[in-house]
Structure 1
Amino acid sequence: MLNIADTLHRWCREARPFALATVVDVTGSAPLPAGTSVAVDADGNAVGSISGGCVEGAVYELCQKVLQEGGGPQRARFGYSDDDAFAVGLTCGGELDVLVQRVDPATQPHLYAALAEVVWGGPVAVAHIVDGPDELLGSTLSVLGDRHLTAGTLGERAVEGAVADQARALLRAGRTALASLGGDADTCPERLSVLVHVHASRPRMLIFGAVDFAAALSQAGRFLGYRVTVCDARPVFATAARFPHADEIVVDWPHRYLSKTTVDARTAVCVLTHDAKFDIPLLQLALDLPVGYIGAMGSRRTHDERLRLLHEAGVTADQLARLRSPIGLDLGARTPEETAVSITAEIIADTNRASGLPLSQRTGPIHEPTAYGLGDDQPIREDVAARWEVETAVAELDWSQA
């Protein structure tokens, strides 16, 4: 839904009814994720895409039917069409569950407020009942993040409370997801499937070290949608002229700045200074914070020395297992621009709990469900923990010989 917020906001402002088709579940490989929508108004104007072209015609016709004939929301499923070359289906082999419903803006003023907040750049979650009792199917509830306001069309106080709690949790996590609720007589007696559409504030990328690699990384980070901060204690290097793509330039000692700024589970911390007097206090602090990614640049020798110093500073094995060092994936990168691709590729893989292997070397679905929970505590991956055990053994051997 929020992928077409600009147009829906305008249609709601004009009190223009429309049919909304939303992907509510995805099985296997599919071009677009759950939460993606197409909308069609009474004049036949369409906006959005849910399949990259494979099933758009059928969805458009279903939207027009819902607008013209009325009635409640309808579910449709689109799968692989190999048996009939002219059948409607997904050539990628995946399956989509789509919910199509009529939306009358006059009866859902909260939806206009939520879409306006998205257009203005604020954090919003819209909870959408996509499976459950007929009287609730298609109902929505909005949470405006900054003000924690909720409004919707669910009606039942207990149901609204349970759905709002789920929406707030996903808004904090910054991701759109399908959640199952209900079965609890005290809170939400009905079994419900709720698709929570989330428009979160931009995640942060904190780059420490005003070096050439930081200039390329700040550009790549901004391209990926991060709010980028470059921090360095040296004012001659930390300038807006050198980092035009950064949202913020900070002249301060890295660990001091990190101690007073706001971070969350989506924050990426990239340490490019490879200087112990900056790195060690900074990483010691970063590894104790609930950030999503921590990477540090340096050679193998620098990495081994960094592990030794962090170990001496009291950083635990579990904390060190979170550190990506040397930073980035093995792409053979040499230039700042190539290195920025290597680093951001690792951040993407780490965020999605992906292997980082070539897809040609993997089997199964291309798009795996995310492994993230709703809270800020992220479990250490088994491959990261194993890597730390090996590196610890090697590092301890080196220390004993020093």
Structure 2
Amino acid sequence: MLDIADELNRWVEQGRDFAVATVVAVGGSAPRQPGAALAVDSEGTAIGSVSGGCVEGAVYELCQQALEDGETVMERFGYSDDDAFAVGLTCGGIIDILITPVRAGAPVRTVLAAALAAASSGEAAAVARITSGPAELVGRAVLVRASGESGEYEGGLGGHPELDRTAAGEARAMLDAGRTGVVEIGEDGSRCGQPISLLVESSVPPPRMIVFGAIDFASALVRIGKFLGYHVTVCDARPVFATPTRFPDADDIVVDWPHRYLERTETDGRTVLCVLTHDAKFDVPLLKYALRLPVAYVGAMGSRRTHEDRNKRLRDVGVTEIELARLRSPIGLDLGARTPEETALSIASEIVANRRGGSGVSLTGAHTPIHPDGTRRASGRIGSVA
């Protein structure tokens, strides 16, 4: 749901009623992951997507029905053996979708509206919704904010304070990790007589991509980094090259020695560092520091000869073999790239493969799944929470 927060927040501000269908769990070759959403307002306007188009029509109708009757519905869609053109995922996957009416006066509207406003403004927050458990609780939600104190939450799950606190704690843990997914709470932890499942959606600021070296290849990489949703910074010690004119798509342009900037800026486990300078006086002090940071990716441009020379220089300044093993160099996947744009695509492909656990090999003739498998859920009508 938070993937379409900007549009939904506008709907809330305009006072529109709507229903939102959110992917809760996936199995097999499903095209969208938990948290992906499609919403339909009372006038029939639709935004977002829960699949590659396979089941959008059926989900649209379910959203309209939920708006009419005020009932939350969990529905499963999967491959139809009898009729490949029937409603279902003909690619062979299974997706479970929670359809929630968000109507004026509904208790859940207040919590979801706050979550949408937080996500739209870039505030770090997480919303947890019950997806399975007692029928009267399904769809209820709590919201936690990164700026709040531990134990603080907004909303409630239906008169069970201990369950509220448990759900809020799980949501905060997912928020700290920047993750979206399903959390299972056993009967003892739920305090409501049976196990429950929570869909936790985290909204965190965009991950950072820091590009060192204001060269033509960097300009192309900045554009593709923005396309992938990164907050992109370009850093170079040469003011004549590090300019807004050369990098109009960059969020930040920093004129400083790369290692000095990296030492003072904030990074985290989602940050990717792309070193395109291939100049030892910049690369060595930068990489010595970068390879000791808990970031997601460190890649460095250069020929294989440059790579070998750079590794020797790094060993000479005390970089260990374990640290060197983290370095992706020469940077990027082997696409036969020649132009700056093709090279940027090669680098971005390696970043995505590293992030998602992909192999980088062609899918043609391969026997690995296209989409990672996920947890499967049951479906059915599960009561009203409007």
**Class of the TM-score when normalised by the shorter of the 2 chains:** 0.7 to 0.9
Match of 1:21 in 2: 21
CA 1:342–1:124 in structure 2 vs 1: closer, same or farther (change >3 Å)? same
Match of 2:183 in 1: 179
Cα drift, residue 300 of structure 1: 1.0
Match of 2:266 in 1: 262
Match of 1:205 in 2: 209
CA 1:189–1:332 in structure 2 vs 1: closer, same or farther (change >3 Å)? farther
Amino acid in the other structure paired with 1:3? D
Query: Is 2:94 the partner of 1:95?
Result: yes
Match of 2:156 in 1: 153
Amino acid in the other structure paired with 2:50? I
Query: Does the CA-based 8 Å contact 1:162-1:188 persist in structure 2?
Result: no
Q: Could you tell me how far apart the structure 1 residues matched to 2:10 and 2:277 are?
A: 47
CA 1:40–1:237 in structure 2 vs 1: closer, same or farther (change >3 Å)? closer
Query: Does the CA-based 8 Å contact 1:182-1:188 persist in structure 2?
Result: no
Q: Could you tell me how far apart the structure 2 residues matched to 1:184 and 1:260 are?
A: 46
Cα drift, residue 156 of structure 1: 2.8
Q: Could you tell me how far apart the structure 2 residues matched to 1:42 and 1:201 are?
A: 31
What is the root-mean-square deviation of aligned Cα atoms in Å? 2.4
Match of 1:318 in 2: 322
Per-residue deviation, residues 232-286 of structure 1 (Å, max 9, x unmatched)? 1222222222222211111111111101100011100011111222111111111
Query: Is 2:219 the partner of 1:218?
Result: no
Q: Could you tell me how far apart the structure 2 residues matched to 1:330 and 1:233 are?
A: 29
Residue 142 of structure 2: SS of its match in structure 1?
A: strand
Cα drift, residue 192 of structure 1: 2.5
Per-residue deviation, residues 337-395 of structure 1 (Å, max 9, x unmatched)? 2111111110011111110111114214201159xxxxxxxxxxxxxxxxxxxxxxxxx
Q: Which moved more, 1:324-333 or 1:21-30?
A: 21-30
Q: Could you tell me how far apart the structure 1 residues matched to 2:124 and 2:54 are?
A: 32
Match of 2:235 in 1: 231
Q: Could you tell me how far apart the structure 2 residues matched to 1:134 and 1:89 are?
A: 26
Residue 360 of structure 1: SS of its match in structure 2?
A: coil
Q: Could you tell me how far apart the structure 1 residues matched to 2:207 and 2:192 are?
A: 32
Q: Which moved more, 1:27-36 or 1:287-296?
A: 27-36
Q: Could you tell me how far apart the structure 2 residues matched to 1:37 and 1:280 are?
A: 45
Residue 359 of structure 1: SS of its match in structure 2?
A: coil
Count of equivalent residues:
369
2:276 to 260, 272, 276: 272
CA 1:189–1:205 in structure 2 vs 1: closer, same or farther (change >3 Å)? farther
Match of 1:243 in 2: 247
Q: TM-score normalised to the size of structure 1?
A: 0.84
Give the share of equivalent positions with the same residue, in percent: 57
Q: Could you tell me how far apart the structure 2 residues matched to 1:7 and 1:234 are?
A: 40
Q: Could you tell me how far apart the structure 1 residues matched to 2:169 and 2:337 are?
A: 44
Q: Could you tell me how far apart the structure 2 residues matched to 1:359 and 1:147 are?
A: 45
Query: Is 2:284 the partner of 1:283?
Result: no
Match of 2:56 in 1: 56
Residue 53 of structure 2: SS of its match in structure 1?
A: coil
Query: Does the CA-based 8 Å contact 2:166-2:190 persist in structure 1?
Result: no
Q: Could you tell me how far apart the structure 1 residues matched to 2:85 and 2:341 are?
A: 45
Q: Could you tell me how far apart the structure 2 residues matched to 1:214 and 1:45 are?
A: 40
Match of 2:36 in 1: 36
Q: Which has the higher relative contact order, 1 or 2, with Cα contacts under 8 A spaced 6 or more apart?
A: 2
Cα drift, residue 16 of structure 1: 4.2
Cα drift, residue 185 of structure 1: 4.8
Residue 354 of structure 2: SS of its match in structure 1?
A: helix
Cα drift, residue 147 of structure 1: 4.6
CA 1:28–1:150 in structure 2 vs 1: closer, same or farther (change >3 Å)? same
Amino acid in the other structure paired with 1:20? V
Alignment of 1:274-353 (within 5 A): 274-353=278-357
CA 1:244–1:101 in structure 2 vs 1: closer, same or farther (change >3 Å)? closer
